[in-house]
Structure 1
Amino acid sequence: MNVLVTDPIADAGLDVLREAGYEVETGYELEGDDLLEAISDAHGLIVRSGTEVTAEVFEAAEELVIVGRAGIGVDNIDIDAATDEGVIVANAPEGNVRAAAEHTVAMAFAVARSIPQAHARLKSGEWAKSDYLGAELNGKTLGVVGLGRVGQEVAKKLDSLGMDIVAYDPYISEERAERIGAELVEFDACLERADFLTIHTPLTPETEGLIGEAEMELLEGSYVINVGRGGIIDEDALAAAAEEGIVAGAALDVFTEEPLPEGSPLLAHDEIVVTPHLGASTEAAQENVATSTAEQVVAALEGEPVANALNAPSIDESAFPRLEPYINIAETAGKVAAQLLDGRIERVEVTYEGDIADEDVDFVTASALKGVFEPLEWQVNAVNAPQIAEDRGVDVTESKTRQAEDFQSLVSVAVGNGDHEISVDGTLFAGDDPRIVRIDGYRVDAIPHGKMVVTRNTDEPGVIGLIGTVMGEHGVNIAGMFNAREAIGGEALTVYNVDTEIPDAAREQLESDERIIEVRYITLNGQ
């Protein structure tokens, strides 16, 4: 397998890929048709902000498993297109958190004390001591828009320096905000109360131009800092507010257009401090994001959950050993249930019983959906399976209960339509031995492997013998058999592990016997 890297990353990240046995191709100038050609056989792609990963790129990348963004922002990646194509998109949100937070703090001090302006004048021979009367941060109010990882780190650092913290973030709880010393308030209140405002939201259609002319009026006398994403602040409105003295100053590291054009109004005002997108530009941060991104690419290519996947469920590294066996069980149960159901799938219910109910099972549920849709879709995985369910109008529910009658942990996948429903339950025996233990309520002890035949028949002498005889006549070898029944003389269900597919003629011969209700062939490997 090979990984294409189209933006420069630290050598440590490339080393992770090579040490894992992957071929690494770098192409830092690729664009247009050259990019489409290079990506056509790539299994992994690593980018920063310089490469536009569009729907066209995903369509050309038939082998692509994952796109890793060596950094936080992913507005250069079409995540919807990635999801449609079943490609994981992952970023490295932790690697440059400290660097971005420290640069934010540095920018706050720089603009408050006019450090760059005083430095420039002193270097040019002026001793302009009396021209700069700075503002102290101690005792002032910091407004934080976006209390994510970087926002929280900034809040902690400036709280420890004596600032009062107010924050606007509709996606964080009051309890979490309080733990880091911040008071959650509404957006306008955050701007009105802030002596210093720092912005740490992603760039989305909702946040583009979030801080405009009207917001500048709310920020009268304040300092505005943005080390997050360009485009969130209306730069013309900010320049006008600085010109008119509405805001005391601003410090920006990111811009709507980068590099910042020579004619930008931001460059005309001493009160606006600018740096060329240095937030993550520390040696430690670059190495951290490179290795983190590379490790996630390796995980994806080896079929393991990806820690920071943005369009697929992820699993905490410490929980993965406990959940890994149930990922396969859920997928297998989904495959069996889907192939047993006669008709269109309209609903899927995944139920967790026992110890597993205490875990974060989003990835396990996605794997169950993968199993359900794999017999129907040629390209389905845990990334696009939830989207396939939504597109098909399939109702998906998940439930948990700590109660488990017979097993320490049990995963049940039920598929149904308006007519009927089939459920398949799976668990682990002896710690790591996967078993199918119920099919449609019948207690079995089936080993899920390769090819299987499931029969329903009346519980009468000679029926199992007939099934074995007919299979033998058609060259189908039975490797294992697991039988269950409702009651003596009632209906029975039997699971056979077989070495080859059962021919249609054999099925028809068996179903012509009035004692046999149905015969279903199931494959777990797509053949």
Structure 2
Amino acid sequence: MKVVITDPIADAGVERLREAGHTVEAEYEAEGEELLDVVADANALIVRSGTTVDASVFEAADDLVVVGRAGIGVDNIDIDAATEHGVIVANAPDPNVRATAEHTIGMLFAAARSIPQAHQRLKAGEWAKGDYLGTEINDKTLGIVGLGRVGQQVAKKCDSLGMDLVAFDPYIPEERAEKLGVELVEDLDECLRAGDFITIHTPLTPETEGLIGAEEFELLDGGYVVNCARGGIIDEDALADAVLQGNVDGAALDVYKTEPLPEDSPLLEVDEIVTTPHLGASTESAQTDVALLTADQVIAALNQEPVTHALNAPSVDESTFGQIQPYIDIAETAGRVATQMLDGRISTVEVTYSGEIAEEDIELVTASALKGIFEPLQWKVNAVNAEKVANDRGVEVIESKTRQAEDFQSVVRVTVGNDDNEVHVDGTLFADNEPRIVRIDDFRVDAIPYGRMLVVDNYDEPGAIGHVGTVLGEHEINIAGMFNGRETIGGEAMTVYNLDDQVPEEVIDELESDERIIKVTQITLQERDEEEE
């Protein structure tokens, strides 16, 4: 498959992609219409912060499966548009976390002890020992704005340096903060008032853009500000003014609203502000690890395997995936069977997990069930956008679990319904993870869920099954397998036939012409060899 890379990544990542059999094209200068041209036939796109991936990119790239962000921030990627088009967006946060946290600590010391300024003056021939009176960080309070991955690493390192820690993050549980030795505060203002040093670790979103400006700097009453997260969170003009006016003692910035930083930026005019050119993730090991992690996630997405850092799709770790993988296919198949058996539109979906599977992370399994339900309706759907498709079409989705399972270790039941009717389909695994459909509505069956199936509702009367076999035989349609279940003797019954051939509509009409036959439903599934591939 074709992978387009529009921002440079380490060679190790490119080689990983090629070793996996993919064609890699580097298009580092592509933007605007040229970008749309180069992604038109791409299956994967890898970017850093230099490429804007907006709705037009997804509209131009019909074959696009995944966008890999070689780094943490994804404010340059329209995730809503990606989801709309069923494209996975995955970032590579872990390697950058360590590097960015270490750079943040370096910037804390640089600002507190005026290290760059003193260095420059010494290089210029000045011995300015008496001009710099530094601030120790021991016993000082660090205010952390955003206690995510990087913020937590910074907290751990600064705790070891003897700092007291407070943080503002409305999305972090208090228990997690307590384990880190961090006091969570109610609002941003309280965090700013408490901190002798303030460090920023939030993503850039509409809510965080311009989060800290002139009013916030007035709350600091001295102290230092460090931002190695994203540009645009801090009002740079207001920061420069606050340092000049003495409301802030100093600052250290690695990221800026406009990058490269313009030569006329007021930040460059203030001696107490340390600036570095977005070096947070610029370590050799981080760049290599980011490239490899991004490549691995792209490869997984193209292989239809779980993507560990997907931002808009269900993701599971490798150990969990081994437990749920067999149920992904059976849930999708149960969904396909159920939706093809229901008369009328679908308004409700319920996926029920019974037995051991109920103890696992089953978000990806549910997404696969929705994919199976919606694909026969010719809705463009995959595990990325299945939930959104359901919401957009007004389909209510319910997920439930129970540890009790009759007869089997684990069962996945998919129920589709509307105001007039509903259909239940149960799937499970036999020995060697062999999938089976074991119940349709109230009928016990034992159906192999591959290829072409014919589901026949009939009265439990002599000759009903023989009639079906005779008609199929007369039309040279071979029966590969047959599974029968009934409610009561002489009541209604259901027979599931695995067939080698498609059944023409006129043959179905002939089957239903017999008064013993209630209804005949033809179901198309994937072939066995396609599943195994």
| CA positional deviation for 1:441 | 2.4
Superposed displacement of residue 474, structure 1:
2.6
Instruction: Return the offset for 1:468.
Output: 1.1
For 2:485, what is the secondary structure of its paired residue? Answer: strand
Distance 2:276 2:211 in 1: 21
- State the one-letter code of the partner of 1:61: A
Aligned to 1:130: 130
Q: Which residue of 2 aligns with 1:80?
A: 80
| Alignment partner, residue 120 of structure 1 | 120
Residue pair 1:338, 1:372 contacting (<8 A) in 2 also: yes
Question: Corresponding residue for 2:247?
Answer: 246
| Aligned counterparts of 1:150 and 1:195: Cα–Cα separation in 2 | 19
| Cα deviation, residue 301, structure 1 | 0.6
- Per the alignment, residue 416 of structure 2 pairs with 415
Q: Distance in 2 between matches of 1:450 and 1:464?
A: 21
Contact 1:347–1:415 (CA under 8 A) maintained in structure 2:
yes
**Structure 2 SS opposite 1:176:** helix
Q: If the length of structure 1 is used for normalisation, what is the TM-score? A: 0.98
Structure 1 position 365 matched with structure 2 position 349: no
Corresponding position of 1:437? 438
Q: Secondary structure at the match of 1:387?
A: helix
Alpha-carbon offset, residue 512 of structure 1: 2.1
Q: Which runs of 4+ in 1 moved over 4 A?
A: none
AA paired with 1:86?
A: G
The equivalent of 1:196 in structure 2 is: 197
- Tell me how far 1:33 sits from its aligned partner: 2.0
Structure-2 separation of matches of 1:95 and 1:476? 58
Q: Which residue of 2 aligns with 1:223?
A: 224
Contact 1:13/1:293 (<8 A) preserved: yes
Rounded Cα–Cα distance in structure 1 between residues aligned with 2:405 and 2:434 = 18
Deviation of the 1:17 alpha carbon? 0.4
Distance 1:299 1:434 in 2: 23
How far does the alpha carbon of each residue in 1:97-129 deviate from its partner, in whole angstroms, 9 at most, with x for none? 110000000000000001111111111111111
Aligned to 1:60: 60
1:453 aligns with 2:454: yes
The alpha-carbon deviation at position 42 of structure 1 amounts to: 1.0
Alignment map for 1:298-337 (pairs within 5 Å): 298-337=299-338
Which residue of structure 2 lines up, in the alignment, with residue 10 of structure 1? Answer: 10
Give me the whole-angstrom Cα distance separating, in 2, the residues matched to 1:223 and 1:507: 78
- Structure 1 residue 27 corresponds to structure 2 residue 8: no
Distance, in Å, in 2 between the alignment partners of 1:259 and 1:77 is: 19
CA-to-partner distance for each residue in 1:131-190, whole Å, 9 max, x for gaps? 111111110111111111111000000011101111111111111111111111122211
Tell whether the 8 Å contact from 1:217 to 1:246 is kept in structure 2 after alignment: yes
RMSD: 1.2
Instruction: Specify the SS of the correspondent of 2:376.
Output: coil
Between the aligned partners of 1:178 and 1:158, the Cα distance in structure 2 is: 15
Indicate conservation of the 8 Å contact 1:330/1:371, yes or no: yes
Counterpart Cα distance in 2 of 1:146 and 1:441: 52
Deviation at 1:473, TM superposition (A): 2.2
Shift of 1:29: 0.6
Counterpart position of 1:484: 485
Q: Secondary structure at the match of 2:193?
A: helix
What's the CA shift string for 1:226-269, capped at 9, x where partnerless? 00011111111111111111011111000000000111111111
Whole-Å separation in 2 of the counterparts to 1:313 and 1:411: 18
Q: Give, in whole Å, the separation in 1 of the partners of 2:496 and 2:190.
A: 65
* Percent of pairs with identical residues: 70
Query: Which deviations, in whole Å up to 9, do the C-alpha atoms of 1:269-316 show, x marking residues without a partner?
Result: 111111000000000000010000000000011110100000100011
Amino acid at match of 2:28: Y
Contact kept in structure 2, 1:474 and 1:503, CA below 8 Å: no
TM-score, with structure 2 as normaliser: 0.97
TM-fit CA distance, 1:378: 5.0
- 5+ residue gaps, structure 2, are none
Alignment-derived partner of residue 384 in structure 1: 385
AA partner of residue 393 (structure 2): R
For structure 1, list consecutive stretches of 5 or more residues without a partner in the other structure: none
Alpha-carbon distance between aligned partners in 2 of 1:201 and 1:276, rounded to the nearest angstrom: 19
Residue 377 of structure 2 aligns to a residue whose secondary structure is coil
Provide the C-alpha distance between the structure 1 equivalents of 2:213 and 2:494, rounded to a whole number of angstroms: 68
Q: Secondary structure at the match of 2:291?
A: helix
Distance 2:184 2:30 in 1: 44
1:195–1:222 contact (8 Å) kept in structure 2? yes
* Distance in 2, Cα, partners of 1:56 & 1:376: 26
User: Equivalences for 1:259-338 in 2 at 5 Å?
Assistant: 259-338=260-339
Indicate the SS of the match to 2:449: coil
Q: Which moved more, 1:516-525 or 1:278-287?
A: 516-525
Q: Aligned residue pairs: how many?
A: 527
- Residues 416-461 of structure 1, C-alpha deviation per residue, up to 9 Å, x if partnerless? 1111111111111014101111111211111100111111111111
Aligned partner of 1:90 in structure 2 is: 90
Letter in 2 for 1:367: S
Alignment-mate amino acid for residue 254 of structure 2: D
DSSP-derived class of the 1:96 partner: helix
Q: Which amino acid aligns with 2:304?
A: G
Letter in 1 for 2:394: G
Question: Cα distance, 1:214 vs. partner?
Answer: 1.4
**SS of equivalent to 1:319:** helix
Q: What SS is found at the alignment partner of 2:318?
A: coil
Matched, 1:525 2:519: no
